[in-house]
Every structure is written in C-alpha cells, then in structure tokens.
Amino acid sequence: MIKERTLATAWRPLNGPVEERVAHVLGCIAKRYKDPEEVQSMMRKVPQREIEGMKIDAWSDLTLANGFTGICLLLGQMDRLFPDEGWDRIGHHYLQQIQSSLEQQNIHSLSLYSGLAGVLVGVRALSRGGTRYLGMLDTLASWFEELVLQKVQICKEQWVVGRLRMDQYDTIQGFAGIGRVVMLFPERPRMKMIWEQIIELFDIFCDEKSYNGYIIPAWHISSEDQFLEQEKVQYPHGNFNLGLSHGITGPLSFMSLSAINGWTTDSIEANIRKLAEWVNKWKMRDSTGTIWPGRVSFEELLHDEIQSDSIRGHRDSWCYGAPGIARSLWLAGHAVQNEEWISSGLNAYLEIEQRMETKGGLTSATLCHGLSGLLHLIQRMYSDTGHPGLSAMRDRFVVDLLDMYNPDSLFGYYDQKGKDGEVDEAGFLTGSAGVALVLASLISKKSPDWDFVLLVH
C-alpha cells in the first residue's frame, strides 16, 4: 500500500519585462472569446480537414478538444486572474450554449476530450471552486456516473479476452482521462466506486497475453485497431503505444497521480512499477539527449531493439514526445519513491536544452503538438523542482511563443497542419484557447489546476 505523497508544488510565475508582453498578448487573444455565438460562427466557416480520406471538423460544440467546453477552462483561469473583469459572466453565456447544445444534440461519448467527462470539467472550471452551478454539476455527475459504470463492465469483458483498443484506455478518449476526472469528486461515493473499478480494469491492462505464440504485455494494440490506415500497414502485428495522449503513459500518469494523492489499492503500486519499468527500458539517447519512440512495434519488442525509423522526426510534444513521457515517469518515481525514475524524468527535461534551437522540432504553437504544450510542461516541472536550467528554458520558450502570435489569425495563433498549412482553431487542444491558457498560467501567482486534463498534475 502506497502512502500519500503529495507533491510540494510552489508555482513559480514569470517576472520582469516579459510578463507585461505576455499579459498584452493574452489580452489580445482573450477578447476574441467574449461572445460564444461569434466564436461558433467563425469556426463553422473554417473548412474541414482531411486525414486519410476522413473529414474532420475544426469545431464541435460539446468537446473539450475543440468546442465550448475547452474554452471554459480559459474563461475560468481568466476569472481567477481578473475576478472583477466580468469573465464569470462571459463564462455563464458559454454554459448557456453548452446547455442548449446538450438539449439539441445527443452526446455519444463519455471521454474527456470529446464527451461527457469534458463537459463536466468545463462546468467545474467556471464554478469558482464549487460554489456555483451546483445543480448543473450534480445532474451531469449523476448522469456520468451511471454511464461510466456501464462502460466499465463492457470493457472488462472485452479486455479479459484480449480485445483492447486505444480509445478505451487512453487520456484523450479512454479510462485514463475519465479516471482523472473521477478524482475531482472525492465526496461522491459512486465516483470512488468508479475509480476502484477503473483500477481493476488497469489490472487487466497491466497483465500479459498470448499472441502468435509469444507472451507479451496486454497493452499491445493489434494492427486492425490502429487509428490510421497507414499505421495498420506499418504495424502488421500491432504495436505498443508510449504517448501520453494515446499510449500507456496515460494510465501510468493516472495511477501515479492517484497514488500521490492517496487513492490506493493493493495492486496499484505493482502496476505503476510494471509500466514505469517498461517505459524507462525504451528510452534512447542520441546526439541531442534522451528521447522515446512514440510506438514500439511487435517485432522491436521481440528483438529487444528500436529501429532508427521509430525515432525519426521526434518532436518534443505533449502528445507523443519526451516531455509527456518523461513527466509520467517522473510522477511514477514520486508515487513509488523510486529515485532512478525521478532522476530519469528530470534529466530528460534538462536535455531538451540541446534541442532549443529547433524548438524541439515543433512548428505549431498549440498545446497538443506545439510549443505551448512544451512550455507548460517545462513550467510545471520547474515549479515542482526549482531547477534553474528549467527556468532558463522556460524564459527562452516564452519569447519564442510570443513571437509566433499573429494578430491576423482569427484567434491569435495558427495551428500548423503539415500540408494543410496554417489553420485557424479556437479550441483548447489544438487552438488558441490552449495557448492563451498557458500564457495566463505563466503570470498567475497560484498554481493552475486546468492541466489535470493533460494528466501532468
């Protein structure tokens, strides 16, 4: 049984001349979010993106990723920073839009980034510490509890026979993200019950299975269950995903944060150790420091060796890069008091300095796969450790991010979408609202809590 070991975080905000520049850019972005109907109207004019033949909308009302709900996180942070500027009233208008959308649309997902868990998070962000919107929160939480309990049982039956999908366990859509939301409501008995059942699910996830005559980790994802068609071809025997967005570091971070905050079971320490040992095993070093592959193929597992193609094009992103993976390892070290993993996670961050000239391979400003995500994770690690090397990196990357501000874009920043070029997005995960949240947090005197949705806190 793990003893509670809460992280002693002292938030370390920016100071000096750059703080004024951050506040200015933040103000320029935030004012574009004052009218939810205008935001919605502008985003509905942004063309769909096409990924391997699939049409993807740039806006969806009820999603944390790219809808009203994620913007609520920004409005909540603005209200905490500037409580007399009326951001709570603006937030109220957003909640009215969310309520209207809930009445008009069916919500088919329970997930954090595209479903009911995210809606719950958005309302909570505007509740001023649970003092407002109590009826709405209770109604949503009760609905959420009922549906999650049903989903847990369905997934348990599938996982026992080896039918595991990424969207069932990961941060974005699965039980890692859902479980982190459950932890926000310790006073609700059914939430505690759900947490216990999710941990039991992860007992199955952390076990082994037989595949093609080999005993391998149960978190193996088959070829047919890869997200993209090109990945189905690239991994004919499946793979093992390491990314914090869709890989095993999501469950690792969720269980580690559970343990750190005193949520324990008899199996959780063993499962944290199993996943952390596996993540630590696959770290690699090149001329620019410690990195991880985003995925380990079945063949690489059998040969116990990563091929060079697996780390080509590495980016220091939250979703698949070293910052997200190293943070999960660092949290695991604190959860089970393993100094090697704490040191390994911190050193991986310090070595990002060697990739600063290329901004860690990042071309976008956004949270998921861009510079603001890297900057916030460095800020969080700096606040947790006080390491001066992280302070210097933070200060450099803040200037880089500010330089990417473009007043001609719809919301202040573009997302870089490869062949699609610069894309306007309003939302949290790949839009300007997420960038603004990072900027707002940098000038806050108190540690923000919105980044629990990234499973880094």
The answer to whether 93 is a known ligand-binding residue is no
Residues 128 and 149: their CA atoms lie apart, in Å, by: 28
448: tokens are 């923000």
Longest dimension (CA), the chain: 65
Q: By C-alpha distance, which of 369, 368, 329 is closest to 345?
A: 329
Residues 322 and 308: their CA atoms lie apart, in Å, by: 16
With helix as H, strand as E and coil as C, how does 248-266 read?
CHHHHHHHHHHHHCCCCCC
Burial of 419 (0-12, 13-18, 19+ CB in 10 A): exposed
With helix as H, strand as E and coil as C, how does 325-366 read?
HHHHHHHHHHHHCCHHHHHHHHHHHHHHHHHHHHHHHCCCCC
The full DSSP string for 371-422 is: HHHHHHHHHHHHHHH--HHHHHHHHHHHHHHHHT--TTSSSS-EEE-GGG-E
Secondary element (H or E) of residue 51: strand 49-51
What is the sign of the dihedral through the CA atoms of 26, 27, 32 and 36? Answer: positive
The residue ranges of DSSP E strands in 163-257, in sequence order, are 208-211, 214-217, 239-241
What is the sign of the dihedral through the CA atoms of 358, 364, 368 and 373? Answer: positive
Instruction: Please state whether beta strands 208-211 and 214-217 pair in parallel, antiparallel, or not at all (unpaired).
Output: antiparallel
362: tokens are 């990042």
Q: Quick one: residue 89, left, alpha or beta (phi over 0 = left, psi -120 to 50 = alpha)? A: alpha
Q: Strand, helix or coil at 424?
A: strand
**285 DSSP β-pair partners:** 290
Residues 350 and 392: their CA atoms lie apart, in Å, by: 10
- Helix locations, 206-238, DSSP H: 229-234
The answer to whether 108 is a known ligand-binding residue is no
The answer to whether 155 is a known ligand-binding residue is no
Residues 293 and 320: their CA atoms lie apart, in Å, by: 8
Q: By C-alpha distance, which of 45, 93, 91 is closest to 426?
A: 45
| Binding-site entries | 319, 368-369
| Binding-site entries for Zn(2+) | 319, 368-369
